[in-house]
Structure 1
Amino acid sequence: MSLDPVVAEITVPVAPALAFVGFTAQMGEWWDPMLSPDPPTFSSIAIDPNGPVETVHDDDQRYTWGRVTTWDPLGHLVMDFWLGHDQAAPTRLDVRFTDEGSGTRVRLEHSGWAEGSEQVRARYTHWDALLQRYATHVS
């Protein structure tokens, strides 16, 4: 098993600023509810550019699973990330939005895996599918 970063990329047919908005402000519209703490009650995702990333569920129940550390609407989002693993050992989600012709290349890198977290890392096989959902949403 590996501790290498998990990398996923996709090109979307919108400008980088719109790609960033689609990824952040509209994340709850394309996120797979099955990847939330309580799929049947999932309603959206809330991202504070200066703080927490949370899934929002019925009755305004919130589950915090990340914290924004870099918020640059011109092309870069970084967060400490612990969805599916211990908050005491967060990983790092780094998403870059790069102008590519008539669209934007979105590169997601999930890194920061600690020794002993190989089995946790092996479960993160969903980024390509999530980026495809995102691409469908912003297209």
Structure 2
Amino acid sequence: MIEPLVVEFEVDASVPHAFDVWTRKCASWWPSGHTVSGDPAAISFEPQSGGRIVETGPDGAEHLWGEILEWEPPGRLRFLWHLFFDRSEATEVEITFSPRGDGTVVRLEQTGWDNLGPAGPPRRERTGTAWATITSRYIAAL
């Protein structure tokens, strides 16, 4: 079994604000190099179970990144994730936002690497590097 990828960090923001910036203000901090269009006009999390995670390019084209499995603001979000890949190669991401003192602990856990066969271990490693870049931009945006 390939171990889940876990990224955990603390931010100086309330739980509701941390959740809001991740889900409603994603385009303001998400690195353009980690998008399909390279210059998204919007990145949207449709706020419901069954909703989509969609990048809208400057030309209005939509690029599906994933689907919301569980939407539990402000404490939890779980989704299928297939940015840059076919949906059949989706992994699952769960993000929790938990209070700690005056701040919030954000914990991201990504699973499903075994479903990718031999591509699973190298993709997990590359994804871990990508999340480090992405989460550092998120922290700066808070």
Q: Does TM, normalized by the shorter one, top 0.5?
A: yes
**Letter of the structure 1 residue corresponding to residue 133 of structure 2:** A
Residue-pair matches, total:
136
Alignment of 1:26-65 (within 5 A): 26-39=25-38, 41-50=39-48, 51-65=51-65
Question: CA offset at residue 15 of structure 1?
Answer: 1.0
Q: TM-score, normalised on structure 1?
A: 0.90
More helix by share: 2
What are the Cα deviations for residues 8-60 of structure 1, in whole angstroms up to 9, with x where unaligned?
A: 12211111011100110011111001001121x32220111231101111121
**Letter of the structure 2 residue corresponding to residue 26 of structure 1:** K
Question: CA offset at residue 96 of structure 1?
Answer: 0.4
Which of the residues 104, 118, 125 maps onto 1:122? 125
Separation of aligned partners in 2, 1:134 and 1:128: 10
Which structure is richer in relative contact order (CA contacts within 8 A, separation 6 or more)? 1
Q: TM-score, normalised on structure 2?
A: 0.89
More displaced stretch, 75-84 vs 118-127: 118-127
Separation of aligned partners in 2, 1:119 and 1:12: 29
Which of the residues 135, 138, 141 maps onto 1:137? 141
Identity of aligned residues (%): 28
Q: Tell me the equivalent position of 2:107.
A: 107
The CA RMSD over aligned residues, in Å, is 1.4
Contact map agreement 1:98 1:105 (CA 8 A) in 2: yes
- Any unmatched runs of 5+ in structure 1? none
Runs of 4+ in 1 over 6 A off after TM superposition: none
Q: Tell me the equivalent position of 2:94.
A: 94
What are the Cα deviations for residues 76-102 of structure 1, in whole angstroms up to 9, with x where unaligned?
A: 010000113221131001100000101
What are the Cα deviations for residues 110-139 of structure 1, in whole angstroms up to 9, with x where unaligned?
A: 11112322232232111122111111111x
**Letter of the structure 1 residue corresponding to residue 25 of structure 2:** Q
Contact map agreement 1:9 1:128 (CA 8 A) in 2: no
**Letter of the structure 1 residue corresponding to residue 126 of structure 2:** R
